[in-house]
Amino acid sequence: MTFQNNLKFAQKLDKKDVLNKYKSEFIFPKINDKRVIYFTGNSLGLQPKRTKAYVDEVMNDWANLAVEGHFYAEKPWWDYQERFAKPLSKIVGALPSEVTVMNTLTVNLHLLMVSFYQPKGKRYKIICEEKAFPSDQYMFQSQVHFHGYKSEDTIVEIKRREGEHNIRTEDVVAKIKEVGDELALVLIGGVNYYTGQVFDMKTITAAGHEAGAKVGWDLAHAAGNIKLELHDWNVDFAAWCSYKYMNSGPGNASGCFVHEKHHNSNLPRFAGWWGHNKERRFKMEPTFDPVQGAEGWQISNLPVLSLAPYLASVEMFDEIGMDLLIEKRTRITAYLEFILNEIDKEVDSTFEIITPSNPDERGCQLSVLLHGEGRDLFGYLMKSGVIVDWREPNVIRLAPVPLYCSYEDMYHFGQTLKKGILTKLES
């Protein structure tokens, strides 16, 4: 498709967009009494209007049934999490038995590492990506220290080549082969939070297994954003947050995946009551008998009030399907890229898109490196009703989420960006 940088063309794309109607299902903040253009769904998704009904249902059941809500609520609380299995399995490409919801993202990664990071002898090293999200970095450091190793000897970072913004798949595979039989675990963010690069998870997972290591993925920026086939890729484990592309609310519950090949294994795990055999849970037996599947990694009674907004969003995803979302995501991200390049030419600016241009290597994010404009331009955009994300030292991240961003938004953003650059140049 040949794009055009004008309002009429953008509106034409919106009229053809089968997902455009979903924009009205979300609540937008306002600046100067005008609805914002929202580009930070990769940090916190907007609130779906249907969320309130799901939360109110739990509140009403709590008020009217109290403890009996565990069994007699319209959606009984004791098995509330089971409603996520089928829709989440479609989102991440898994069997329903391989997914569950519990805790929060980093907590789940720590718990999964209990099972999947088992350093022994000379096989103790972990491979991750350079500039992983800080929470992952802290997690790796604390895990290796817990096992009695030093970070500098144990954590191997895949680095970018000199002058490049993204990590090459061949470099990841080469490093896996180099570390070889010293490698215990590969754990990488499926989509890099800073650059928006999507890693070749299938190839990297296969390489990790060939080296004899376990392979897991932090899917914080991937779940609900890109095509995932965790089961078919033979991924050992994964976890993701729900409050970015899946719009479940700040700091909300995490999802996790454990491949079925591990369901009957003797892997160690931290056990709790909620992971115990569901049919015998209330017999209060002294010996842990895990639920078969990912639910066997659950520990505590689940926070139903937190799960309610997540369920509202997951059911929206289920009615749309990932294929439609990805189709629009690909097109609207390409249109945003086109707009950025057009504005760059019009104002002879010095910004650079550091996210891969190949649609197969990116999701719903473009990271823009600012050579000169810096935080002044960020502040101008925010005051002008364009909510974007700033990352040090000088990157603005833009996420045109297909559920609630329109092509007209992309056009208006471009005009605001142009005005902001020109205003700065004139001053």
| pLDDT value for 373 | 59
Cβ-based burial of 248 (10 A; exposed 0-12, middle 13-18, buried ≥19) = buried
Instruction: Report the 10 Å Cβ neighbour count for 150.
Output: 10
At residue 319, does pLDDT exceed 90?
Answer: yes
At residue 280, does pLDDT exceed 60?
Answer: yes
Instruction: Report the 10 Å Cβ neighbour count for 25.
Output: 16
Domain boundaries defined on the chain: 7-35+321-426, 53-320
The mean predicted confidence, pLDDT, of the chain is: 95
At residue 314, does pLDDT exceed 60?
Answer: yes
Q: Which residues pair with 351 in a beta bridge?
A: 370
Q: In the numeric block, which tokens belong to residue 376?
A: 């002044």
Topology of the domain covering 53-320: Aspartate Aminotransferase; domain 2 (3.40.640)
Q: Are 86 and 96 in contact (CB under 8 A)?
A: yes
Topology of the domain covering 7-35+321-426: Aspartate Aminotransferase, domain 1 (3.90.1150)
Residue type, 398: L
Q: What global pTM score does this model have?
A: 0.95
Could you identify the residue written with the tokens 């991937």? 222
What are the φ/ψ torsions at residue 126 (nearest 5 degrees)?
-120, 135
Provide, rounded to the nearest whole percent, the portion of the chain with pLDDT above 90: 88
Q: In the numeric block, which tokens belong to residue 326?
A: 């990805």
Could you report the per-residue pLDDT of 331-390, keeping only the tens digit for each? Answer: 999 999 999 999 999 987 778 999 999 999 999 999 999 876 578 899 999 999 999 999
